[in-house]
Structure 1
Amino acid sequence: MKSKRVRLNAAQVIAATAKQKQKFLEWGRGSGKTTYLGYDSLQLVKQMPRGSFAMVGSTYSQILSRFMPAIKEGLELFGIYEGIDYVVGSMAGKKMGFQMPFQSPEAFNNIWHWSNGAIFQFVSLDHKDSGRGLNSYAIRGDEAALFDDEKLAINVTNTNRAKKAQFKNSPLLHSEVYTSSTPLTKKGKWFTDMEEEARKDPSGILFLKATAKVNMANIRSDYFEHMRKSYRDDIIYNAEMLNIRPKEITDGFYPQLTEDNYYTNFDNGYLEGIPITDLNGNSLNCRQDLDVKKNEPLIISVDWGANINSMTVSQLQDDTYRVLKEFYVKSPKMLDHLFLEEFLPYYLPHPTKEVYFYYDRTGNNRMANSKMTMADQAKEILTKSGWTVYKMTTGANPSYTEKFRLINVALREDGRRRGLPKIRINKANCPSLIVSMENAEVYDRGKGLEKDKRSERRKGIDQEHATHLSDTFDYPFYSMFEGKLDASRAGTEDLPLTTF
């Protein structure tokens, strides 16, 4: 390993030198997280050669597609390069003369192997046995706001127990570092709650917040102004750049939506079988999803718009309605791109080429200078690609009040004995849908309850986080189960009808 001098900013220095064994770093974009992750990983490897560490992600897909590219960039700042100082996902290091760890795994497909024998094992929290059997000397986790804290404790934290006499004076022995930008959904509450835990136990826990203001020596002077123009969404800009946490919508359009309605279900065997050097968009298709019934049609739902066209893909599986995947394209891309560049490539391997097609009723209106409707146009694209399409939308849109009652009874799971299914949303594949639903508000203009659609017209809102995607959830679910509404109405008296 070659040495290279890099100047750390104040937040990086505090994080690197703090003596607390648990560190939670809520750092905004531009604050120097990539550099810190590179520095921190390098210190672990130097302090504990041949040691084993856990590198945690919410999913294996997240580790491969987001964490590893960032960490490689951070390490290059210190003169550390893949293929020379470390290898990822293979036994190539052994052939290159790398030392082996004290406890060598049987397979190296999920191992980050360093030349001095230190290894990081990738642990995905969507795999219940991913961290089992591991004896680690330290734990690291990025995008920690996406973690399930119970799974983290059960599968990972209790593995941080390995001991070696030569490491007893290592400052980083049994340390834990979790980094994240400010959470956008309820899922990340466990992470921000650690700020209060750090106040209760300041000697054991460090919670450190930082924005790019701490890193101005390394970034352009007009960085905040430049980035403000890059964000169309005030909520996302405030969270990712300024560490301002979004307000919690407790009386929104989906008040019964909770973490219990979310899940992940990746085929980690498939993902681990892809050489990391070959990982690309073509590899990350529906073959990575274990929640898709291959011999069943897909339910697709589209919301049309001038600035964004969005889609969700679902299946009714026995007593569970599963939202499997979201897609969207923004202007200048159009409806064609949504299908040709997003849906069709992703579901190319799906063997049952049938879709039940739901959409806003305006999709049945003829487009200007054309005999076709938007629904006809979408159907033609799918048909030419070998799919059989059943258009399901007719008539007028239902009232918001009726949709509110039906969906929230199903979310609360009070209506199952009346024929309503459980609702489950793939949180890894539908992150913007979850933001859209958790932030959808209600208001009453004297005509009854309505979903607040003003986010679709606000310039400060990224449209994938406005209510478009939430509408794509509503269209098929209400249409498929509206006949159960009267039977379910008895369980809705205590559901809020207005904001307070």
Structure 2
Amino acid sequence: MEELEITVNDKQAAFLEAVMFELDSQDVKGAGMVGGIGSGKSIALADLSATMMEELPKAKGQFACPVVSQAKRALTPGLRARWRTSWNLTPYNAATGNGDYVLWKEPPAGFDRPYEEPDDWTNCISFVNGFVIELCGYKLDADSHRGRNDDFVLMDEALRFKREWLKICLGRIRANVGKFSSNLHWLFAFFSSPPYGAVGDWMWEYEDLQRKDPKRYHFTQVITKDNEVFLPPGYIAGLKDKLTPLEYSVEVEGKRLSSIPKAYYSAFDWEKHSDIDDLPGTWYNPDAPLEMSGDFNVLFTSCTVWQDEGRLLKGQRALWVKEPMKDPETGVPLTMAETLAHKVANAYEGHGLKRIYVTGDRNGNNKSAGATKTMYELFAGVMEAKGWEVILCPLNYNMEHYERYLLLLRILSENQASEYYVRMHSVDFKGAIASMMFTPIKADYTKDKSSEKKGGVEQENATHLGDTVDYYLIWKHQGGMSWCDSGFDIEYY
């Protein structure tokens, strides 16, 4: 193959150099790169896989993931783009007979075969020199992979990969003794966003392993600034505007988090409750109504947007505003409730069935200073002007603290077959997820809401967004849409 020159940042270069030249163990070796948004870890994965292809002809390994269909959608577009622009690798064209690799089917006769051919090519990426990457899903049946023999294992978004699955896939790295002299043979390489709390904490162990045995293990943590030269001007500053401070500190600055010991949502599990793979039906349905739960405050007004599918409650988005905007047509200053309505309407501009049920904080029944309408009514007015049918269902029933705590515990624990269960989008709902993870509990089973006080944390990281989840789950428990006419209320003390 012709000699190529690829451009990488310093952290990517150090990672690739380490796995190629420093990990000289003849045993299985491990290397990991953990980085946030725009840090370049996907580029490193693409470059590593292309290098392995050149170094390990006729090798076959696995790309380990929870669900194959999701990995195909999320992974391969980025890999193919990098392979094409930096490695001159193109998909095989049957009409011309040209191309370097084949996706998801048996390769043509002109391609070499790996030393150990797969029985089924459906989930394989096959290169002309016989190098094969097979996508292997572990969520549905991890034990089915115990009989494999692999030359390597690759993994993306490793924070979603369970520790018990890891034991299975690492035990498969054992194929073709003596056939390769490259350090890339028998390599386990993982790439991932930073974990929130304890989920994916096994990745940090590779940092300790590197200190103990640097010839067998390598670990790199990258932050967005490490890749700044390859990002658009203002990209990092833009992330600061788009993300909550907690998200920014974790995914841009690389801060490591651990869950608090006495949490209000003690049954919340990031891995389980943000796992939307293989759920029944469609995750987001543009032809079904939306359900919204709001929390109205002078300095921070927020909501979570949901859809339900029977017992499954799907957390679609967490949205908030921190200051009022001006009407885009008249320039007149708007209220916070109206500003939030514009944000919701813009987020769902392409939604088909424009019907939304609005519940949440009873304070939304109050009127803003100088206003003649309640905050719920102001919110509805903006949405209706944009073509939405709005059904207001504010809460007006006080559930006892312990009763409320037990309801949330029961729903999140998923130990009753008749109860609702929730799944939340790991990106679009992340603000609410972070709020829930770091909400402390008091001795009387109420939330510690000190984070909402002046001088505390940024309000995006306070308890507001978690409150909207509570309001919604209580509303659904009490009947949801069928309860709209009577309504009920909840307040926190």
TM-score (normalizing by structure 2)? 0.69
Superposed displacement of residue 69, structure 1: 3.6
Q: Any residues of structure 2 matched to 1:321-470 within 5 Å, and which?
A: 322-329=312-319, 334-335=340-341, 338=344, 341-342=347-348, 345=351, 358-364=359-365, 368=371, 373=377, 376=380, 392-395=393-396, 398=399, 403-408=404-409, 411=412, 421=419, 423-425=421-423, 431-442=430-441, 449-452=446-449, 454=451, 461=458, 463=460, 466-470=462-466
State the secondary structure of the residue aligned to 1:474. helix
Q: 1:172 maps to which residue?
A: 184
Q: How far apart are 1:42 and its partner, in Å?
A: 1.1
2:470 is paired with a residue of what secondary structure? Answer: helix
CA contact (8 A) 2:450 2:456 kept: no
- Distance in 1 (alpha carbons) for counterparts of 2:290 and 2:441: 27
Q: Which residue, out of 200, 221, 244, partners 1:233?
A: 244
**Residue 439 of structure 1: how far off its partner (Å):** 1.9
**1:440·1:451 contact (CA, 8 Å) conserved in 2?**
yes
Q: 2:58 aligns with which of 50, 54, 62?
A: 50
Distance in 1, matches of 2:184 and 2:462, equals 43
Which of 32, 36, 42 is matched with 1:34 structurally? 42
The structural deviation recorded for 1:139 is 0.8
Question: Per-residue CA shift, 1:125-154, capped at 9, x if unaligned?
Answer: 433369736543211112212222223333
Deviation per residue, 1:323-342 (Å, 9 max, x gap): 32322446677436636754
Unaligned runs of 5+ in 2: 93-98, 326-338, 480-491
1:419-454: CA deviation from partner (whole Å, max 9, x where unpaired)? 98475535658544432311223569xx99444274
Q: Count matched residues.
A: 443
In structure 1, distance between residues paired with 2:236 and 2:356: 45
Identity, in percent, stands at 19
User: What CA deviation, in whole Å up to 9, does each residue of 1:462-484 have, x standing for no partner?
Assistant: 84x6544422321133345589x
Corresponding residue number in structure 1 for 2:134: 121
Residue in 2 aligned with 1:303? 294
Deviations 1:270-295 (A, max 9, x none): xxxxxxxxxxxxxxxx84459x9xxx
Are residues 38 and 420 of structure 1, via their aligned partners in 2, closer, same or farther at CA, if it must alter by over 3 Å?
closer
RMSD, aligned α-carbons: 4.9
Contact residue 240 and residue 248 of structure 2 kept, 8 A: no
Q: Does 1:183 align with 2:208?
A: no
Tell me how far apart the structure 2 counterparts of residues 153 and 82 of structure 1 sit (CA, whole Å): 34
Partner of 2:472: 476
The letter of the residue matching 1:27 is G
Aligned residue for 1:279? none
Q: Deviations over 1:216-244 (max 9, x none)?
A: 7x458998974775565333333223322
Amino acid at match of 1:240: E
Letter aligned with residue 302 of structure 1:
S
CA 1:431–1:137 in 2, change beyond 3 Å: closer, same or farther?
Answer: farther
Give the CA deviation at 1:45. Answer: 0.7
Can you give the 5+ residue segments of structure 1 that lack an aligned partner in the other structure? 269-285, 484-496
Distance 1:32-1:11 versus aligned 2 partners, 3 A rule: farther
Amino acid at match of 1:207: F
Name the counterpart of 2:489: none
| 1:146 maps onto 2:146 in alignment | no
CA contact (8 A) 1:100 1:117 kept: yes
* TM-score under structure 1 length normalisation: 0.69
Given that 1:52 and 1:137 are in contact with CA atoms closer than 8 Å, whether structure 2 keeps it comes out as yes
Distance 1:190 1:375 in 2: 45
Q: Give me the whole-angstrom Cα distance separating, in 2, the residues matched to 1:413 and 1:423.
A: 6
CA distance in 2 between partners of 1:300 and 1:252 (Å): 27
Q: Is the 8 A contact 1:126 1:264 kept in 2?
A: no
Using a 3 Å threshold, how does the CA distance of structure 1 residues 324 and 89 change in structure 2: closer, same or farther?
farther
**Match among 145, 170, 173 for residue 157 of structure 1:** 170
Aligned to 2:484: none
Aligned residue for 1:68, secondary structure, equals: helix
- Residue 18 (structure 1) aligned with residue 18 (structure 2): no
